[in-house]
Structure 1
Amino acid sequence: MTAVEPQAPPLETAGAVAAGTTATTVAKGRARVPWRFLASRAAFYLFTLWAAITINFFLPRMMRGDAVDQYLARNRNVSPEAADALRALLGLDTDKTLLQQYFDYWGLLLRGDLGVSLLHGMRPVSEVISQALPWTIGLVGFATIVSFAIGTIGGAIVGWRRGSRLDGLIPLTTFLSTIPYFWLGLLAIALFSVNLKWFPIGKAYGVGMSPEWTPEFIGQVIHHGTLPALTIVIASLGGWMLGMRNMMLTVLDEDYIMVAQAKGMPNQRVLWRYAARNAVLPQIQSFALSIGFIVGGTIVMEMVFSYPGVGKLLLDATNAKDYALMQGVFLVITLSVLVANILADLAYAFLDPRTRQTEA
């Protein structure tokens, strides 16, 4: 009886075994670009942008009255011809159907024209928003990033040292987060501004100063913005810390954490390279949404501290029914949220290799 020689495995299977995988085929060359995934995500975000802009157009027009009616209520001496000219200038011409106004609105958007604001003396909406946007991004954006960083790092450490005295930070920060923000802001003003006189009561800079890039003005901005920034950090810290701590408790029970510890890896490496890196993934989407809504500002904060920003601008535009300004602010908020979600998708793919493999 002759011995049967073992046949060599196919090249594809041999390549898979050599690569240390269980796949039957191995992609040759460089990794393929996930064009199908990118196309689907691009289509999703484009559809979302179209839907948001469409709702942005029709929703204000469902309100009773418009900006011209509000203006005529304050100025009785305006002629009917001037009122009709104002409506035509603001895109509220009654001679055109709502569908025609919608297409005209898209035409203006594609040219980068957001219209003019009747509330701000017929100034371009883009100019009005560009003056308020830096104040909101500078204050609320900085405070949100600081609260996310402190809460995430603190929650990872508390979760890693579960059962220690550090667990007492969770109910404390959670209690501070349950306090209504307007009450927290008023308490901060009463204590640190009125009694201790450490910080100004409100505004973005001192009376009599004009915005300019000088050390004195920058110091005024930092001095006036410290107290509202601290209140934002205190109010939002508990949510970040609690979420990260709970995810750490879940991740620490996984097998790969026990294997890493059994191999004798340093605790700091296991904490930050394995446990915290996986526990932070659910936080990324929440952080992206927070970054997106930074542009909307914190209306309550801006009202309590008399701080200029996009939130206060949106509130004033809504009260005055200034359609062009409302639509411009909503458009900026929508774009910021979409961009933040795109960045979150990229962060997921960078932090989680499984996402890259699935997309590919």
Structure 2
Amino acid sequence: MKYFARKVGFFLATLWAVVTLNFLIPRIQPGDPAELMVRRLSGKDNALDPAQVQAMRAMLGTPDGSLWEQYTAYLADLTRGDFGLSYTYYPFPVSEVIGQAIWWTVVLVVVTQVLAFVIGIVLGTYAAWRRNGRLDSVITLGSTFLGTLQPFWIALLLLYVFGYTLGWLPTSGGYSAATPGFNGPFIQEALTHSVLPALSLLIVAPVGWVLGMRNTMIMNLGEDYIRLARAKGLPDRRVALRYAARNALLPSVTGFALALGSVLAGAILVETVFDYPGLGRLMGEAVGAKDYPLLQTLMLLTTVGVLVANLVADLLYGVLDPRARRSES
């Protein structure tokens, strides 16, 4: 029990640090968002009117007061789920803008990452168990080659072949003419539009899991407990899955949580290529438009998601490996 309490305590402390940094970083950046918007509307060569800048600050809800007052107000807004207004999609609140895009990314990225993890673990396990064989060579060399490719380059290639040349799949957007909602035509269009973005991520994503699982399992196959299991006459399937694969899976569980941190970064380019209405494209728009409330909330959402995934991985690690709990006590 001490192991789990310690992990939860670290999670809460790290969460507080992340929230505080997310508050401080935009405020130490040079420039004023209100001045940028006024200059964009009035023209770069025209002088700024202080009254217009002040009116823009009031319209955008730019915080004022001391830094401590802003920090306490920021924490209070977080507890209410109030992240301010988006400068790009004004007057819509940030929570509404993200709420419309988050499910596209969840369906696209999270599903592809889970599939990549499962495919990589299965292929890595089989390659290690049948090491030095023909299929092992194909899996290893193929994974090494695919690992040199970039998702956005694959996205451009798939877009050219299956979108423009063959015309089999749509080239942009999340849907075409269907009415958004839980209905057959919309679901069919959403699935069709997600095929090419999903393939762009799925082709490269399993590579790390394949090679990592193979190497870790090969090391475990040389341990004494594996020799003992074989000497006792246990079936090969049980030795491979219950003994070798289970212990080799532990580093991959932690690595899967850490990999979620780079998911959104990779999705930015892929979603931009296909104009897919997810968080990746939204973050690209926020950076280009200097939409600080939207960008700040996206960064906070991404970081908190990684922290939660790491917490789940630590708790699962304690369940899968009793030695971790014993070392804490």
TM-score by length of 2: 0.92
Contact 2:7–2:315 (8 Å) recurs in 1: no
Question: What is the rounded CA distance, in whole Å, between the counterparts of 1:42 and 1:278 in structure 2?
Answer: 24
Give the match for residue 9 of structure 2: 43
Selected match of 1:242 from 205, 211, 214: 211
Q: What whole-Å deviation, never above 9, does each CA across 1:155-185 have from its counterpart, x for those lacking one? A: 0000010110112211212211211222111
Q: What whole-Å deviation, never above 9, does each CA across 1:318-345 have from its counterpart, x for those lacking one? A: 2222221112111211221111011101
Give the match for residue 23 of structure 2: 57
Contact 1:174–1:239 (8 Å) recurs in 2: no
1:155 lines up with 2:124 in the alignment: yes
Q: What whole-Å deviation, never above 9, does each CA across 1:249-301 have from its counterpart, x for those lacking one? A: 10100011111111111111111111110001101111112345546661011
In structure 2, runs of 5+ residues without a counterpart are none
* Structure with the larger helix share: 2
Question: What is the rounded CA distance, in whole Å, between the counterparts of 1:179 and 1:295 in structure 2?
Answer: 18
Question: What is the rounded CA distance, in whole Å, between the counterparts of 2:283 and 2:32 in structure 1?
Answer: 15
1:358 lines up with 2:324 in the alignment: no
SS of the counterpart of 1:63? coil
Contact 1:251–1:279 (8 Å) recurs in 2: yes
Selected match of 2:87 from 118, 121, 133: 118
Contact 1:116–1:123 (8 Å) recurs in 2: yes
Question: What is the rounded CA distance, in whole Å, between the counterparts of 2:318 and 2:12 in structure 1?
Answer: 21
Question: What is the rounded CA distance, in whole Å, between the counterparts of 2:100 and 2:33 in structure 1?
Answer: 21
Give the match for residue 71 of structure 1: 37
Question: What is the rounded CA distance, in whole Å, between the counterparts of 2:189 and 2:165 in structure 1?
Answer: 20
SS of the counterpart of 2:170? coil
1:87 lines up with 2:88 in the alignment: no
Give the match for residue 3 of structure 1: none
Question: What is the rounded CA distance, in whole Å, between the counterparts of 1:287 and 1:53 in structure 2?
Answer: 23
SS of the counterpart of 2:18? helix
Q: What whole-Å deviation, never above 9, does each CA across 1:115-167 have from its counterpart, x for those lacking one? A: 11121112111111111100001001111111110011100000010110112
Selected match of 2:75 from 77, 96, 106: 106
1:340 lines up with 2:309 in the alignment: yes
Question: What is the rounded CA distance, in whole Å, between the counterparts of 1:91 and 1:50 in structure 2?
Answer: 24
Letter paired with 2:220: V
Give the match for residue 184 of structure 1: 154
Give the match for residue 270 of structure 1: 239
1:132 lines up with 2:101 in the alignment: yes
Q: How many angstroms does 1:69 deviate by?
A: 2.4
In structure 1, runs of 5+ residues without a counterpart are 1-33
Selected match of 1:195 from 140, 144, 165: 165
Question: What is the rounded CA distance, in whole Å, between the counterparts of 1:174 and 1:351 in structure 2?
Answer: 29
Question: What is the rounded CA distance, in whole Å, between the counterparts of 1:169 and 1:324 in structure 2?
Answer: 45
1:306 lines up with 2:306 in the alignment: no
Q: How many angstroms does 1:85 deviate by?
A: 3.8
Aligned length: 324
Distance 1:220 1:340, change over 3 A: same
Question: What is the rounded CA distance, in whole Å, between the counterparts of 1:88 and 1:38 in structure 2?
Answer: 46
Larger Cα-atom Rg: 1
SS of the counterpart of 1:116? coil
Letter paired with 2:106: I
Letter paired with 1:160: W
Cα RMSD (Å): 2.1
Question: What is the rounded CA distance, in whole Å, between the counterparts of 2:181 and 2:7 in structure 1?
Answer: 42
Give the match for residue 252 of structure 1: 221
Work out the percentage of aligned pairs sharing the same amino acid.
44
Q: How many angstroms does 1:82 deviate by?
A: 4.7
Question: What is the rounded CA distance, in whole Å, between the counterparts of 1:256 and 1:347 in structure 2?
Answer: 23
